[in-house]
Amino acid sequence: MNPASTDISSAAVSAPASLAAWRARLEQRELQVGIIGLGYVGLPLALLFSAERFRVVGFDIDARKVEKLNAGQSYIYRIEPEHIQAAQKSGLRATSDFSEIASVDAVLICVPTPLSEHRTPDMSYIVSTMEKIAPHLRAGQLVVLESTTYPGTTVEVVVPAIENAGNVLAVREPEQVGVYVAFSPEREDPGNTRVARKDIPKVIGGLDAVATEMAAGLYNSIFNRVVRVSSPAAAEMTKLLENIYRCVNIALVNELKLLCLRMGLDIWEIIDAAATKPFGFQAFYPGPGLGGHCIPIDPFYLSWKAKEYDFSTRFIELAGEVNEAMPYHVLQSVMTALNRERKSLRGSKVLVLGVAYKKDVDDLRESPALTIIEMLQHEGAAVSYNDPFFAHVGHGRRYSLNMDSTPLNRVPEFDCVLIVTDHTAYDYKKIVAEAQLVVDSRNATRGIDSPKIARC
């Protein structure tokens, strides 16, 4: 979209003819793009490429997703079936047959990178993906990892998987022939309607200069700006810095919220006042805990990797501890609020409003609501939930609830309504009017004056 961004850097002036051929095919939209993982990152990426007239093959092990996409249906909120059907006209199709990797020119990997039970990086999705695709890779292809991970993953996991398959090398020097490898971190922000995806700059770090330029040209076709860095590890660390920055600042306001509650101060009022400063301050807001696919996880990835260098990331680890403690604060707040009503948490009926990890998204990953529900149940409460995005919550990596969403017309039946995710669909005035007690962990009831409300 910005031709200047695709100029060959001085480091790649002597690149082999493969780069010139790549750029020529790119300009003619003759390249076929393969995207592995058709979730919250991979599917929007596939649609961006389809909108720019690229033929896209989406790969996923979930047969349900493949079937829905090929039928022109969507499974992600804010992505309408019309978006899928428009992309199909440009050639978008989905498959679970990884042998088709051989037919694409670029392979973009967008698979999950969660934490294990012991809070260490779980590379199983990346390893499994590489086992599936490595036998089918061929020289001249570009492989880009987009999954958030620790610095060194591309070189330590992706490259050996390619070369151990035995049929092709990963290119490290201009004169080599093989697969070109790069890392380009996803920067998806589910629910964000203020910034168009194409306006989010794309960071790219290649194993060699040619890989960087090939990836830069490809991504510049769908993003308005690409940012080159010196290596895959630099690109991997860039993504961790972005998310740990948020994690640390959220921990700061979470801790200040706890202090302000003791001092009888309104942290939300204070943050709004501080945010009027035109320099040196960026507003972050407290909540019941961190959720999503990156921010709760990334500090642990970096802390784990840092130990390899005999380095302790004390500041980052402390921020993680503060954020992880917030569900316990919410639990205590519910107990205290019920006590004031001369009720015990054990045996009380509690309705949790919102289970998504943030407002107006259909995403449960690492949601603090799931932790809070299980904690309430452990203390003997009869817990129900309501969420306009989830009619049912079943089983996941870290939860097993098997619950159906409760209609809001049953609000009066509950001893306590706990606001965990502040979806805009909720009529908070009506909820407060009908509820016996409301505990608000998101400041959703700000401006509503009622003795029923306990803000935490």
DSSP notation for 137-160: --TT-EEEE-S---TTHIIIIIHH
> Can you tell me the distance from the alpha carbon of 392 to that of 138, in angstroms, rounded to the nearest whole number?
43
pLDDT recorded at residue 4: 39
End-to-end C-alpha distance for the chain, whole angstroms: 47
Percent of the chain with pLDDT over 90: 84
pLDDT recorded at residue 211: 96
CA-nearest of 347, 367, 351 to 359 is: 367
Residues 6+ apart with CB under 8 A from 147: 37, 109, 110, 111, 112, 113, 125, 126, 186
Confidence band (pLDDT; 50, 70, 90) for 8? very low
Q: CATH 1.10.1040.10 residue ranges in the chain?
A: 240-322
Is the pLDDT score of 2 beyond 60? no
Instruction: Say how many residues make up the chain.
Output: 456
Confidence band (pLDDT; 50, 70, 90) for 353? very high
User: Mind listing the pLDDT tens digit for each residue in 295-325?
Assistant: 778 888 899 999 999 999 999 999 989 999 9
Active-site residue flag, 294: yes
Element of type H or E holding 109: strand 106-109
Q: In 10 A of CB 216, how many CB atoms?
A: 25
> Average pLDDT, stretch 263-292?
95
pLDDT recorded at residue 342: 97
Is the pLDDT score of 257 beyond 70? yes
Amino acid code (one letter) for 3: P
pLDDT recorded at residue 11: 34
> Can you tell me the distance from the alpha carbon of 362 to that of 220, in angstroms, rounded to the nearest whole number?
29
pLDDT recorded at residue 17: 63
CATH of 13-230 among 3.40.50.720, 3.40.30.10, 1.20.140.10, 3.30.930.10: 3.40.50.720
Q: Angle 135-169-153 (CA atoms, 0-180°, nearest 5)? A: 85
User: Mind listing the pLDDT tens digit for each residue in 22-36?
Assistant: 999 999 999 999 999
pLDDT recorded at residue 167: 82
Left (φ > 0), alpha (ψ -120 to 50) or beta: where does 150 sit? Answer: beta
Q: CATH 3.40.50.720 residue ranges in the chain?
A: 13-230, 325-455
**Does the domain spanning 240-322 belong to CATH 2.160.10.10?**
no
Element of type H or E holding 162: helix 159-164
Structure-block tokens of residue 63: 């047969």
> Average pLDDT, stretch 433-438?
98
pLDDT recorded at residue 281: 97
- Residue with more model confidence, 7 or 240: 240
Is the pLDDT score of 448 beyond 60? yes
**Is residue 343 a contact partner of residue 415, using CB atoms and an 8 Å limit?**
yes
pLDDT recorded at residue 298: 83
User: Mind listing the pLDDT tens digit for each residue in 402-414?
Assistant: 899 999 999 999 9
> Average pLDDT, stretch 3-11?
37
User: Mind listing the pLDDT tens digit for each residue in 142-179?
Assistant: 999 999 999 999 999 999 999 999 889 999 987 788 99
Going from the C-alpha of 185 to that of each of 23, 84, 202, 434, the distances in angstroms are 22, 24, 8, 45
User: Mind listing the pLDDT tens digit for each residue in 74-128?
Assistant: 999 889 999 999 999 999 999 999 999 999 999 999 999 988 877 889 999 999 9
CATH of 325-455 among 1.10.260.40, 3.30.70.420, 3.20.20.70, 3.40.50.720: 3.40.50.720
DSSP notation for 178-209: SBEEEE------TT--SS-GGGS-EEEEESSH
pLDDT recorded at residue 292: 73
Is the pLDDT score of 443 beyond 80? yes
> Average pLDDT, stretch 275-282?
97
Considering the candidates 247, 260, 294, 456, report the single residue annotated as catalytic: 294
User: Mind listing the pLDDT tens digit for each residue in 373-398?
Assistant: 999 999 999 999 999 999 999 887 77
> Can you tell me the distance from the alpha carbon of 181 to that of 170, in angstroms, rounded to the nearest whole number?
7
pLDDT recorded at residue 306: 94
Would the pTM of this model clear 0.85, i.e. be above it?
yes
> Can you tell me the distance from the alpha carbon of 148 to that of 296, in angstroms, rounded to the nearest whole number?
12
Residues 6+ apart with CB under 8 A from 343: 415
Is the pLDDT score of 10 beyond 80? no
